[in-house]
Amino acid sequence: MIKIIIADDHQIVVDGLKSILNQLTEYKVITTASNGRELLKSLEIVEPDIILLDIDMPVLNGIETLKEIKKHYPKIKTIILTMHEEKSLVKKMTDLGANGFLFKNSDIEELIIAMESVMKGKSYFSVSLRNELINNDLIGESESNFDSKKSLLTEREIEIIKLIVEGLSNKEIADKLFISPRTVDTHRTNLMKKLEVNNVAGLVRYAIRNGFMN
């Protein structure tokens, strides 16, 4: 069973999500929080698998809360739930280590897909955010800089970036290429250094711009 904490200061949102998720046998909402400080106190007592985290919360907002979560509880998966569509905010949250990003108008099916993805070690971006990636708006880097870096990549790194963009986890990539997960992780780190990006969003944008995706 996947254990979930919902952190949101809108009680109607919390109650709705809790009611829906607790009807599913695979998921259980173990507690809720109305602000970041309350959430962090809860983490001293219980350990969830996933946190559904709002950005606009009193006392301690989602941005500062996410920093603390990733600092002290790096294994906990965090999915941002928000109404904000500012691309700079999306970039900031992904740079801080958010595992997923969904808008509050997403349906429950997409939320479940997002939770399944992050539990497999993948990142998940809302459908509308993927369109932003294609439009080159999430990460500010010039096209010429990206194109010039293509020659730095090895054939193996190109293989791996294609599989990362398909949503495969390190273990799935390792099994597919008959290498170890540690080797995949090393390649992923090298890719981010070479392309000067901090997250999967940057790798996705690079892959799209350079024709590495169908």
3-state SS record for the chain: CEEEEEECCCHHHHHHHHHHHCCCCCEEEEEEECCHHHHHHHHCCCCCCEEEECCCCCCCCHHHHHHHHHHHCCCCEEEEEECCCCHHHHHHHHHCCCCEEEECCCCHHHHHHHHHHHHCCCCEECHHHHHHHHCCCCCCCCHHHHHHHHHHCCHHHHHHHHHHHCCCCHHHHHHHHCCCHHHHHHHHHHHHHHHCCCCHHHHHHHHHHCCCCC
pLDDT tens for each residue of the chain, 214 residues long:
899 999 999 998 899 999 999 898 899 999 999 999 999 999 999 999 999 999 888 888 988 999 999 999 999 999 998 876 666 677 778 788 888 888 888 888 889 989 998 998 888 888 666 655 555 444 444 444 445 567 788 889 988 988 887 778 889 899 999 999 999 999 988 898 888 887 776 777 777 666 665 4
Residue ranges and CATH numbers for the domains of the chain are 2-129 (3.40.50.2300), 143-209 (1.10.10.10)
